[in-house]
């Protein structure tokens, strides 16, 4: 697994997403078909969602806040949804 900043945690999400989780998924992946999600993961920093990844029949989608890109979240999120 990739090396993440100390305050970041990546977790797989239960499905279907709860309303609060769906809000965060839509914030970072506005065009993702949430009804077709088969796996989902989120990266949290300081209790805040800073990145998400979802897997659907159409492929994987990744959404990361601009300030967190290039810090290892991409690979960690992809690993989490492909397990």
Strand (E) or helix (H) holding 70: none
Residue 12: is its pLDDT beyond 90?
A: yes
Look at phi and psi of residue 72 and say left if phi exceeds 0, alpha if psi is from -120 to 50, else beta: left
Q: What's this model's pTM, rounded to 2 decimal places?
A: 0.89
81, 54 contact by CB (below 8 A): yes
Residue 81: is its pLDDT beyond 60?
A: yes
Domains of the chain, CATH where assigned: 8-82 (3.40.630.30)
When pLDDT is cut at 50, 70 and 90, the band that residue 6 belongs to is confident
pLDDT digits (tens, 9 = 90+) for 21-74: 899 999 999 998 989 999 999 999 988 999 999 999 889 999 999 999 999 999
Task: Please state the length of the chain.
Answer: 83
When pLDDT is cut at 50, 70 and 90, the band that residue 1 belongs to is very low
In the sheet that holds 48-56, the strands lie side by side as 8-12, 37-45, 48-56, 59-64
């Amino acid at each position: 697994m990739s090396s993440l900043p100390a305050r970041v945690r990546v977790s797989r999400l239960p499905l279907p997403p709860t309303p609060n989780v769906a809000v965060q998924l839509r914030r970072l992946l506005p065009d993702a078909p949430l009804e077709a999600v088969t796996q989902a993961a989120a990266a949290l920093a300081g209790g805040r969602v800073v990145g998400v990844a979802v897997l659907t029949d159409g492929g994987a989608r990744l959404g990361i806040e601009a300030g967190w890109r290039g810090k290892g979240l991409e690979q960690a999120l992809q690993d989490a949804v492909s397990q």
